[in-house]
RNA sequence: GGGCGCAUAACUCAGCGGUAGAGUGCGUCCUUCACACGGACGAAGUCGCAGGUUCAAUCCCUGCUGCGCCCACCA
């Protein structure tokens, strides 16, 4: 065997195995290997075709990969369905930007050429993210990968649209909608993000009253607005019917200062809050949602004053052609010139922005396609209420229910070119709209005319995404895959798309498949920086997962995160966002995929924010190194073993019985953690087992056996070591796929083992052996060793300085266990020969000091090394602790109510604890006499 | 305006009606033949504040304070 290097180098290991797995077909579902097995399915949330790997992907995909690898190892026919989303607006924006560099717009190319251009872009640079997901080890069935614009996906979209239309759930209507002036399309309510606490102003100006009665009151009406430019679309001014200030104006008309129009004064108790502003509200039905509703109540004209690009149209009169915000300035200027300005106040307001382009959303009246949601929402609510879909963590159920019970109809059309074109055809003769499954409608379904023009709009990207769980399996065709893999078991995703995606998939699954699309929804939090701030390009605190995996200097990283800022400034910002990098020098070492994955798993998925700490990733890199070195150590002893694949029969040695028992607990903990979507618990169970129990205790204990033990003892220990190591590597594999494969391949294994650890079975409790007796016996042993080490350390005795130790216990079994394992104690506590074991006694070796470690008294002879003053201090401190604890316990037990009401086990536990504390106190105080002796 | 969540060791976070935990960091010691990306030992917390329920509260309830998020058409 070639010599293994001293330290683990992930970069040398990781790239090799992914290809191996692909060649073996490890990730494929529905193979002969899995025939007749139960299925386990996770549909992967398809990343955007424009996307590149970020921490959110790394987090979600790691979680999903752990789940899928675990179930695959458990023998399920595991399908992780991958794919890519065509991401309508994002993609169109990206390609339009490229065109702009060539000095062109999409209109220069025309629709068909533009779409061809997007496809070309997609083939070249889209889908880079699939490659990146492979770097982090995702074991998805890539051969089944789907793109939401694939022909079969398009067919599914058309089928869904047509059926929903036939059933009256999709309709066309003219409404006030959210308009994105930059990408020039309508947006759904969900795609509008509201920026809060924006500093704006409340601007006041006066409308002159026509035919005012000068004796009744002022001849003008002052209104307050945050958007003065919209006054060009005012078709009324509303006051509260009960407002005494304006009673004289009821029924009057106002003169518009810029256009030839009279604006009526109306009374409306819904719209107007007397206490706000001037108590008079200008009403612009075509550009404000409240005003729109008011207009409907009063039959007001809806006057659109904007073009689709956000400039003023002809209704703007002298302001026509001006961009919205320029128009605002101009209007204010003119109002001032006309002497109509009445002041302005600072005002905190909210601003609606487009999720994709960040431009301020303009409410516009427009004819669009809508989906009626209330009838779809009801069954989706029911499915969660009756448990057919379980949402984990449960706290999100309320959010889900709130949205679905207050759901609004969904605007599904978009004025884009990239996407699924709406399968509706407008008749040029009779204006009837024909909706069809065919690529093109041949004749109007009403008048039979062949003069048909397809609706130019495309569907919201989420319209296709919502069909994902069944469209990827062949729907609407009734394929064997659809029958076998629908519904999925788990949907794992971020909580930010509960509404966009999760709820809609549940509605569509129930509607088209008659069954929920998945049994559980597992929701993870958002990855944020170390201080808890959202990762964003603006803040310069984004972390590229690949930089953590492959290593990167901070300079290259901040240049990516904040390309426009000076490096020094960006670096300062970055280090502020990640305080743990302060002592890291120039950058990240190559932590490796496994370290990153294990780190992500170590955070509780139910936390809303996951504050990623590079220092923590470093900790798990060290864990990888630990795993590597422990295996390297073990191999020197076990390389010629012929393991059976089962735990050794009847192990006699305590350390072997104990380790097998702990192994059972660890794999049970891991499986429970994964099943409960508490990967942190699962990962922690194995981490603790490996590092503390296997390495720090077991491996150290094997050393005296491998050097001086009997052949039988050595054989048994070798068998236990090789078995436990092989099992724990399997248990760790879903979390850390690469290093476990690398090391597992080096281990001797039972005959007939699979070609990859990824195909080996996931361990169960039966791979170890629960042994309560061994666990308590080991407790005495470790207590004795730690007790002796504590004394040594406190008195500054070097490890190389061997000292006599005597161990005492009143319990014959304890004494027996200590004697049986005395070579081990000698080795681990560096004692002068095997420790003597005795019953408690008032006699003590001269110059010895006593430490009480649970059931064992440890007497270490330190004459000549010991500092009596220090020892005295130590005893005082310990006694003080014990005395305090005793007081607490005594008080508790003196309470009659406690004695009467506490459960018996709690009571007896408390009594036992008090007894043991009292004994400890007695033993500690006996130590005071030793100090005297030492001083002599 | 509604709703949700968080506040535990210097940091990042678990936990839980009955002795406060981990990792990192910190201090001391150790290059003992897997690993210094290591080992041993240790110090460190009125579990945000104020009430209440209970025999017993870090945990349950109420209020407050400070953060964070989501939803909502107050000009």
Residue A395 is encoded by which pair of tokens?
């706290």
A865 touches strand B (CB under 7 A): no
Q: How much is the pLDDT for A878?
A: 77
What's the average model confidence in pLDDT over A209-219?
78
Residues 381-400 of A with CB under 7 A from strand B: 395, 398-399
pLDDT tens for A256-291 read: 999 888 999 999 988 998 888 888 999 999 999 999
In chain A, helix, strand, coil percent, each to 5? 50, 20, 35
A613 touches strand B (CB under 7 A): yes
Separation CA A170–CA A163 (nearest Å): 9
* C-alpha neighbours within 13 Å on the C-beta side of residue A442: 1
* pLDDT confidence band for A935 (50 / 70 / 90): low
Q: pLDDT per residue over A504-519, tens digit each?
A: 999 999 999 999 999 9
As a whole number, mean pLDDT of residues A607-624 equals 89
Q: What is the mean pLDDT of residues A595-609?
A: 89
In window 339-368 of A, residues with CB < 7 A from nucleic chain B are: 349-350
Residue with smallest Cα–C1' gap to B35: A629
Q: How far is CA A348 from CA A195, A201, A791, in A?
A: 11, 8, 66
Say how far A605 CA is from B62 C1', in Å: 30
Where does residue A904 rank: exposed (0-12), middle (13-18), buried (19+ CB within 10 A)? exposed
Protein chain A, residues 242-301, with a C-beta closer than 7 Å to any atom of nucleic acid strand B: 271-279, 281-282, 288-290, 293
Which two tokens mark A628? 């590597």
Phi, psi of A226 (to 5 degrees): -95, -10
Mean pLDDT of chain A: 90
Residues A140-150: pLDDT tens digits? Answer: 999 999 999 99
CA A743, distance to chain mean position in Å, is: 29
H, E, C per residue of A766-822: HHCCCCHHHHHHHHHHHHHHHHHHHHHHHCCCCCCCCECEEEECCCHHHHHHHHHCH
pLDDT digits 0-9 by tens, A411-451? 999 999 999 999 999 999 898 999 999 888 888 888 888 88
Q: What residues form DSSP beta bridges with A858?
A: A807, A851
Residue A865: per-residue pLDDT: 65
* Per-residue b or e along A204-218, where b marks 16 or more CB atoms closer than 10 Å to that residue's CB: bbbbebeebeeeebe
Give the nucleotide at minimum CA-to-C1' distance from A790: B41
Question: In the numeric block, which tokens belong to residue A646?
Answer: 């089962």
DSSP code per residue over A431-447: --EEE-SSSS--S-TTT
Cα–Cα distance for residue pair A50/A345, rounded to 1 Å = 43
Going by their DSSP bridges, the two strands A262-267 and A253-255 should be labelled as antiparallel
How far, CA to CA in Å, does A120 sit from each of A62, A93, A123, A142, A478?
Answer: 31, 15, 5, 21, 32
Instruction: Protein contacts on strand B: list nucleotides below 7 Å from a Cβ.
Output: 3-5, 11-15, 18-19, 22-25, 28-32, 34-42, 55-56, 67-75
State which residues between 768 and 797 of chain A bring their CB within 7 Å of strand B: 785-786, 789-790, 792-794, 796
pLDDT of residue A1: 41
Residues 6+ positions from A912 with CB-CB distance below 8 Å: none
Report the candidate in A399, A414, A498 with the shortest Cα–Cα distance to residue A459. A414
Residues A534-579: pLDDT tens digits?
888 777 888 889 999 999 888 888 888 888 888 888 888 888 888 8
Give the range among A93-97, A384-388, A465-469, A896-900 with minimum mean pLDDT. A896-900
User: Is pLDDT of A2 > 60?
Assistant: no
Protein A395 CA to nucleic acid B62 C1', in Å?
A: 21
């Amino acid at each position: 065997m070639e010599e293994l290097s001293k330290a683990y180098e992930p970069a040398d290991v990781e790239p090799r195995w992914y290809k191996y797995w692909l060649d073996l077909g490890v990730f494929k579902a529905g193979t002969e290997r899995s025939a007749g097995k139960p299925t386990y399915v996770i549909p992967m949330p398809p990343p955007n075709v424009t996307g590149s790997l970020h921490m959110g992907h790394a987090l979600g995909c790691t979680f999903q990969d752990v789940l899928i690898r675990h179930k695959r190892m458990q023998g399920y026919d595991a399908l992780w369905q991958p794919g890519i989303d065509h991401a309508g607006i994002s993609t169109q924006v990206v390609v339009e930007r490229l065109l702009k560099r060539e000095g062109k717009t999409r209109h220069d190319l025309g629709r068909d050429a533009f779409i061809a251009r997007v496809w070309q872009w997609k083939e070249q640079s889209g889908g880079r993210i699939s490659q990146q997901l492979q770097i982090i080890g995702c074991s998805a069935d890539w051969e089944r990968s789907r793109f939401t614009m694939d022909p079969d996906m398009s067919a599914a979209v058309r089928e869904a649209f047509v059926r929903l239309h036939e059933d009256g759930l999709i309709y066309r209507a003219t409404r006030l909608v959210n308009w994105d002036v930059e990408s020039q399309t309508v947006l759904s309510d969900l795609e509008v993000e509201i920026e809060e606490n924006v500093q704006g102003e409340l601007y006041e100006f006066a409308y002159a009253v026509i035919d005012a009665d000068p004796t009744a009151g002022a001849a003008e009406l002052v209104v307050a607005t945050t958007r003065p430019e919209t006054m060009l679309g005012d078709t009324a001014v509303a006051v509260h019917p009960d407002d005494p200030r304006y009673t004289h104006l009821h029924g009057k008309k106002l003169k518009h200062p810029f256009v030839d129009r009279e604006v009526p004064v109306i009374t409306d108790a819904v719209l107007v809050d007397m206490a706000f502003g001037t108590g008079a509200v200008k009403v612009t039905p075509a550009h404000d949602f409240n005003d729109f509703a008011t207009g409907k109540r009063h039959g007001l004209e809806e006057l659109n004053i904007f073009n689709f690009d956000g400039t003023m149209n002809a209704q703007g009169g002298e302001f026509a052609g001006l961009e919205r915000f320029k128009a605002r300035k101009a209007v204010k200027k003119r109002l001032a010139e006309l002497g109509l300005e009445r002041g302005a106040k600072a005002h905190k307001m909210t601003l609606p922005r487009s999720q994709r382009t960040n431009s301020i959303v303009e409410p516009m009246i427009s004819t669009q396609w809508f989906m009626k949601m209330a009838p779809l929402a009801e069954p989706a609510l029911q499915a969660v209420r009756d448990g057919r879909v379980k949402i984990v963590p449960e706290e999100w159920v309320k959010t889900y229910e709130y949205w679905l019970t207050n759901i609004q109809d969904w605007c599904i059309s978009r004025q884009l070119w990239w996407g699924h074109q709406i399968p509706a055809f407008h008749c040029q003769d009779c204006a009837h709209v024909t909706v069809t499954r065919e690529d093109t409608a041949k004749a109007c379904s009403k008048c039979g005319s062949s003069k048909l023009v397809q609706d130019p709009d495309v569907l919201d990207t989420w319209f296709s995404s919502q069909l994902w769980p069944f469209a990827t399996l062949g729907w609407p065709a009734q394929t064997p895959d659809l029958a076998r893999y629908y519904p999925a078991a788990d949907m794992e995703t971020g909580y930010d798309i509960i509404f966009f995606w999760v709820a809609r998939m549940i509605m569509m699954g129930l509607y088209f498949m008659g069954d929920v699309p998945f049994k559980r929804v597992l929701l993870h939090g958002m990855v944020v920086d170390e201080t808890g701030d959202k990762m964003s390009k603006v803040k310069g605190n984004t972390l590229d997962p690949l930089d953590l995996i492959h290593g990167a200097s901070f300079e290259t990283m901040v240049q990516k995160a904040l390309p426009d800022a000076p490096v020094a400034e960006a670096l300062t910002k970055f280090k502020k966002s990640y305080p743990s990098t302060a002592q890291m020098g120039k950058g990240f070492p190559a932590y490796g995929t496994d370290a990153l994955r294990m780190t992500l798993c170590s955070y509780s998925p139910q936390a809303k924010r996951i504050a990623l700490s590079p220092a923590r990733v470093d900790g798990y890199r060290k864990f990888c190194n630990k795993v590597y070195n422990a295996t390297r150590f073990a191999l020197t002893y076990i390389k010629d073993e012929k393991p059976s694949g089962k735990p050794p029969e009847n192990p006699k040695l305590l350390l072997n019985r104990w380790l097998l028992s702990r192994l059972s607990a660890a794999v049970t903990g891991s499986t429970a953690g994964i099943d409960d979507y508490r990967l942190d618990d699962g990962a922690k169970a194995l981490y603790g087992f490996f590092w503390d129990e296997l390495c720090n205790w077991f491996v150290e204990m094997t050393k005296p056996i491998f050097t001086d033990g009997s052949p039988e003892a050595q054989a048994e220990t070798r068998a236990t070591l090789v078995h436990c190591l092989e099992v724990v590597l399997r248990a760790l594999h879903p979390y850390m796929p690469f290093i476990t494969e690398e090391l597992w391949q080096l281990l001797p294994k039972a005959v007939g083992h699979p070609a990859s650890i990824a195909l080996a079975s996931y361990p169960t409790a039966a791979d170890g052996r629960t042994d309560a007796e061994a666990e308590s016996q080991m407790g005495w042993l470790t207590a004795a060793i730690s007790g002796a080490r504590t004394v040594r350390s406190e008195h500054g005795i070097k490890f190389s300085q061997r000292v006599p130790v005597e161990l005492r216990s009143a319990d014959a079994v304890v004494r027996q266990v200590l004697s049986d394992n005395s070579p081990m104690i000698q080795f681990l506590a560096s004692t002068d020969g095997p420790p003597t074991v005795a019953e408690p006694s008032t006699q003590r070796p001269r110059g010895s000091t006593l430490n009480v470690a649970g059931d064992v008294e440890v007497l270490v002879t330190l004459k000549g090394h010991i500092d009596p003053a220090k020892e005295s201090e130590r005893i005082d401190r310990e006694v003080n602790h014990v005395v305090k604890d005793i007081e607490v316990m005594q008080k508790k037990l003196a309470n009659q109510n406690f004695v009467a009401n506490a459960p018996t086990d709690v009571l007896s536990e408390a009594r036992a604890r008090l007894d043991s504390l009292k004994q400890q106190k007695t033993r500690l105080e006996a130590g005071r006499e030793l100090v005297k002796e030492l001083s002599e």
